[in-house]
Chains A and B, each alone.
Chain A
Amino acid sequence: MNLAPTEEQKLLIESVERFVEKDYPFEQRRELAASELGYSADHWATFAELGWLAIPFPEDQGGLGGSITDSCLIAEQLGRGLVVEPYLWTVILGGHLLSRSGRGDLVEQIATGVLQTAFGFAEPTSRYNLASVETSAADSGGWRLNGHKAVVFNAPAADTIIVTARTAGDPRDEEGISLFLVDPKDPGVTLRDYPTVDGLRAAEVILEDATGELLGDAGAAYPLVEETIDRGIAVVCAEAAGIMHTTLQMTREYTAQRKQFGVPLSKFQVLQHRMADMFNLTEQSISLSWVAAVKAESEDSLERARACSAAKVFIGKAGRQVGQESIQMHGGMGMTEEMPISHYFKRLTLIDTLFGNRDHHQRRYSDLLDDKRFAA
């Protein structure tokens, strides 16, 4: 038992840390988020060169045979710099779906940085239920898809979009869900692009007799979808933990230099205690995100689900408190677009709604409460 990064992982952490420190000043993040593409193609190429895009994939698919834990450690550091590059969407979600569906050809393109993907798993009324799929696919000498995929992150930049669609069963059945690749340029695919409140890009993806390429077996995709989203949860929890870390540092520094009543704000005990609470929450968030990272790889899907949901609940709550407190302690300055802290706060807020919020995962966790293996 050892909940600590290996020597090799430490080197990886250092390399991401160096990138964020040297090559990712906040002003650049601001410009990238406002740019046409929404992120930097050059940075993406750098990620590929450094091997970060290849890490979680098996070697026979052009990967480095690393683990999701490695990816989480990368994400934690990226979170510290509030990096907007689409690591989560392309590598963690898209890459895993393709990898597990035997599409080494495409995984290799992700690993080398030439392919961008997006995963449309939500629909306008699905909320956080991954089995709630109304988009339909029918085979009439080639698959045709009809439906609406909601808030698909990175879709505007994606070369290929992976979507869930129903090939059998009723709207909320786990059975009968399939995965398809769709080409954003297909005449049956309409994207409505938009920026998101936390500085990313997404789109509503409307499918009208869109051509789809089946990924894996028809009707049997649900377990893979759930596994992929759990890995996404582990990674976004790591990102959130990194964001909390920076948020606390910024608050600490700000209150130490801002004077009121003749003393630095950091001398007021009431603020000290609240920063101590922010510290407690941040440390526990890091810990649980590491547990989720390790368990995300588990063969046992319930064990995986339990750890990922636990992390998501805890980090949703912690992120809310850490974020709100950081703004409060910055006073008026915290309210401004100009200060980086407000951008950290916004991303931290929206992470709770990604892949299911606190309520959703508390319910998912509660469903496993009676399982004897997990007795606390």
Chain B
Amino acid sequence: MNLQESPELQSFREEVRAFLADNLPPDIKQKMEMGQSLKKDDYQRWMKILAGRGWLAAGWPEEHGGPGWTPAQRYIYDEEYGRHSCPRVLPFGVTMVGPVIIAFGNEEQKAEYLPKIANSDVWWCQGYSEPGAGSDLASLKTKAVKENGHYIVNGQKTWTTMAQYADWIFCLVRTSDEGKPQEGISFLLIDMKTPGITVKPIVTMDGGQEVNEVFLDDVKVPVENCIGDENKGWTIAKYLLGHERTGIAEVGKSRRQLQRVKDIAAAETIDGMPLIEDTAFRGKIAEVEIELLALDATILRMVSAEGAGKPPGPEASLLKIKGVELQQAITELLLEAIGNYGSPYIREAMDHGWNEPPIGPEYAAPVAPHYFNWRKSSIYGGSNEVQRSIIAKMVLGL
């Protein structure tokens, strides 16, 4: 056992660090640091920059346009990425549909879709959940019926993140009612411009608009857009669940957010002294930091095992659970730190270019909305309850 990075990894780290520092556009960096909302263009600009360096599809093999990094390099990349105030790489293309196409797509599909994902030419969204199918995803009802070389798709998806920006949606649809519900599901790629698709926004409790309902009404989808075999979509969905899991804890981001807690606690005062010197508050920071160390060490163990050819299986659910619990704990610390100024709510204050003087300290405005918004993280992507069930059943065999 050895925590020392090899000289090669050290220089890799330097390279990543320098690239991110030199190439993150200052206006985007400022928005990130102020917790302001990002626009479609911000994500696109940044993802294009990463794509230009060949790092957008960070987990992909070289033959498909990825950097072909080892697990250790990937770990270092994620860590450095989190350290800088970079917007997150939207997962729908590069970590969701891309790997599915790599694993299950045919040659034409690979040639058609992968370069555009690695290049960030196309904006994807994920159409899994439905009003009646959340945790119980296999109960989904959106129907695809084959007719003259097309599927005719009817139904409704919901909670679709950033569907309002998306060019394409990947959907789980029902192609058969025979057998178990899992056995009649297929994985379809659908162009959002196809007639019959309507996107309706859902406003979240923080006032933001990031999720949508997507209605599909007689939407014609060429049969070539089915990935893998018809009725084998569930296998694909399960593959995705187990793919590229070490990044989901977002430890790097939590580390950066914890630093933000420290910075704000240094600026806030309590009875004339900096809040960061208050024993109770300091103790809470230490507690979260120790949890973060435990999580990071666990990731490092999994990454090391992966390097030796043993990629993590369902035990990676631990990373999702603990990762989001820590992210949520940090949003709470931020809210605690700003005291009375958690209350004011001016939605526009979270937008870049809002020119009025802030109410209270300038870092305060997004804090409470962010805390509210981040409750989502233990609900989506397999809720914490679902993840615990995975550990119970698939790891512990209960």
Q: How does the 8 Å CB contact mask read for B330-369 relative to A, with 1 for contact and 0 for none?
A: 0010011001111111100000000000011000000011
A362 neighbours in B (Cβ, 8 Å): 280
Expressed in whole angstroms, the Cα–Cα distance for A373 and B373 within the complex equals 45
In-complex Cβ contact of A336 among B134, B202, B281, B343 (8 A): B202
**Closest 5 pairs (CB-CB, A-B):** A342-B205, A260-B136, A197-B345, A337-B203, A196-B343
A-B contact pairs, 25 of them (CB 8 A): A125-B269, A127-B268, A127-B271, A127-B275, A128-B339, A129-B271, A172-B271, A196-B343, A196-B344, A261-B135, A261-B139, A270-B388, A324-B375, A328-B375, A331-B134, A332-B211, A332-B376, A334-B375, A336-B205, A337-B204, A338-B202, A338-B203, A342-B205, A357-B339, A359-B280
A150 neighbours in B (Cβ, 8 Å): 340-341, 360
Q: How does the 8 Å CB contact mask read for A156-199 relative to B, with 1 for contact and 0 for none?
A: 00000000000000011000000000000000000010111110
Measured CB to CB, the nearest residue on chain A to B343 is A196
B211 neighbours in A (Cβ, 8 Å): 332, 335
Q: A151-B340, A268-B385, A350-B342 are in contact. List 7 more A-B contacts (CB 8 A).
A: A259-B132, A261-B136, A261-B139, A337-B204, A338-B202, A359-B278, A359-B336
In-complex Cβ contact of B379 among A259, A332, A337 (8 A): A332
Measured CB to CB, the nearest residue on chain A to B383 is A331
- Total contacting residues, chain B, CB less than 8 A: 50
In-complex Cβ contact of B205 among A171, A335, A350 (8 A): A335
Q: Is the CB of B343 within 8 A of A332?
A: no
Q: Is the CB of B203 within 8 A of A336?
A: yes
Chain A: minimal CB distance from B34 (Å): 18
B375 neighbours in A (Cβ, 8 Å): 324, 327-328, 334-335, 345
Q: Is the CB of A270 within 8 A of B385?
A: yes
Residues 270-309 (chain A) with a chain B CB within 8 angstroms: 270-271
Which of A151, A197, A349, A357 neighbours the largest number of chain B CB atoms within 10 Å of its CB? Answer: A197
Interface flag for A204 (CB, 8 Å): yes
Q: How does the 8 Å CB contact mask read for B118-153 relative to A, with 1 for contact and 0 for none?
A: 000000000001001011100100000000000000
Q: How does the 8 Å CB contact mask read for A329-357 relative to B, with 1 for contact and 0 for none?
A: 00110111110001101100110010001
Which of B158, B205, B207, B268 neighbours the largest number of chain A CB atoms within 10 Å of its CB? Answer: B205
Expressed in whole angstroms, the Cα–Cα distance for A124 and B332 within the complex equals 20
Expressed in whole angstroms, the Cα–Cα distance for A221 and B106 within the complex equals 79
A337 neighbours in B (Cβ, 8 Å): 203-205, 207
Expressed in whole angstroms, the Cα–Cα distance for A172 and B159 within the complex equals 50
Q: Is the CB of B339 within 8 A of A353?
A: yes
Expressed in whole angstroms, the Cα–Cα distance for A366 and B341 within the complex equals 26
Decide: A194 near B383, CB < 8 A? Known: A332-B158, A350-B342, A350-B343: no
B384 neighbours in A (Cβ, 8 Å): 328
A198 neighbours in B (Cβ, 8 Å): 343
B280 neighbours in A (Cβ, 8 Å): 359, 362-363
Q: Is the CB of A332 within 8 A of B159?
A: yes
Decide: A132 near B271, CB < 8 A? Known: A197-B372, A260-B139: yes
Measured CB to CB, the nearest residue on chain B to A342 is B205
Interface flag for B12 (CB, 8 Å): no
Interface flag for B378 (CB, 8 Å): yes
Interface flag for A122 (CB, 8 Å): yes
Q: Is the CB of A124 within 8 A of B136?
A: no
Question: Binding site of A, secondary structure by majority: helix, strand, loop or mixed?
Answer: mixed
Measured CB to CB, the nearest residue on chain A to B284 is A359
Chain B residues within 8 Å of A, Cβ to Cβ: 129, 132, 134-136, 139, 158-159, 202-205, 207, 211, 268-272, 275, 278, 280-281, 332, 335-336, 339-346, 359-360, 368-369, 371-373, 375-376, 378-380, 383-385, 388
B336 neighbours in A (Cβ, 8 Å): 353, 357, 359
Expressed in whole angstroms, the Cα–Cα distance for A359 and B158 within the complex equals 40
Q: How does the 8 Å CB contact mask read for A307-331 relative to B, with 1 for contact and 0 for none?
A: 0000000000000100010011001
Q: Is the CB of B380 within 8 A of A332?
A: yes
Measured CB to CB, the nearest residue on chain B to A270 is B385
Decide: A151 near B205, CB < 8 A? Known: A328-B375, A331-B135: no
A353 neighbours in B (Cβ, 8 Å): 335-336, 339-340, 342-343
- The number of A-B residue pairs with CB atoms under 8 Å apart is 132
Question: Binding site of B, secondary structure by majority: helix, strand, loop or mixed?
Answer: mixed
Decide: A197 near B270, CB < 8 A? Known: A332-B380, A353-B335: no
Interface flag for A133 (CB, 8 Å): no
Measured CB to CB, the nearest residue on chain B to A320 is B332
Measured CB to CB, the nearest residue on chain A to B205 is A342
Decide: A122 near B202, CB < 8 A? Known: A196-B345, A324-B375: no
Expressed in whole angstroms, the Cα–Cα distance for A14 and B56 within the complex equals 62
Chain B: minimal CB distance from A249 (Å): 19
B376 neighbours in A (Cβ, 8 Å): 332, 335
In-complex Cβ contact of A197 among B269, B369, B378, B379 (8 A): B369
Chain A: minimal CB distance from B359 (Å): 6
In-complex Cβ contact of B359 among A192, A200, A359 (8 A): A192
A240 neighbours in B (Cβ, 8 Å): none
In-complex Cβ contact of A359 among B202, B281, B373, B379 (8 A): B281
Chain A: minimal CB distance from B334 (Å): 12
B269 neighbours in A (Cβ, 8 Å): 125, 127
Interface flag for A202 (CB, 8 Å): yes
B205 neighbours in A (Cβ, 8 Å): 335-337, 342-343, 345-346
A124 neighbours in B (Cβ, 8 Å): 360
Expressed in whole angstroms, the Cα–Cα distance for A345 and B336 within the complex equals 16
In-complex Cβ contact of A122 among B135, B204, B332, B340 (8 A): B340
B339 neighbours in A (Cβ, 8 Å): 127-128, 353, 357
B271 neighbours in A (Cβ, 8 Å): 127, 129, 132, 172
Measured CB to CB, the nearest residue on chain A to B209 is A337
Expressed in whole angstroms, the Cα–Cα distance for A129 and B268 within the complex equals 14
A350 neighbours in B (Cβ, 8 Å): 342-343, 368
Expressed in whole angstroms, the Cα–Cα distance for A204 and B360 within the complex equals 9
Measured CB to CB, the nearest residue on chain A to B138 is A261
Measured CB to CB, the nearest residue on chain A to B340 is A151
Chain B: minimal CB distance from A112 (Å): 30
Residues 111-150 (chain A) with a chain B CB within 8 angstroms: 122, 124-125, 127-129, 132, 150
Chain A: minimal CB distance from B96 (Å): 18
Residues 88-109 (chain A) with a chain B CB within 8 angstroms: none
Q: How does the 8 Å CB contact mask read for A237-271 relative to B, with 1 for contact and 0 for none?
A: 00000000000000000000001111000001011
Q: Is the CB of B136 within 8 A of A332?
A: no
Chain A: minimal CB distance from B127 (Å): 14
A202 neighbours in B (Cβ, 8 Å): 343-344
Chain A: minimal CB distance from B164 (Å): 16
Q: Is the CB of A260 within 8 A of B135?
A: yes
In-complex Cβ contact of B343 among A151, A268, A331, A338 (8 A): A151
Measured CB to CB, the nearest residue on chain B to A153 is B343
B378 neighbours in A (Cβ, 8 Å): 328
Expressed in whole angstroms, the Cα–Cα distance for A196 and B359 within the complex equals 11
B369 neighbours in A (Cβ, 8 Å): 197
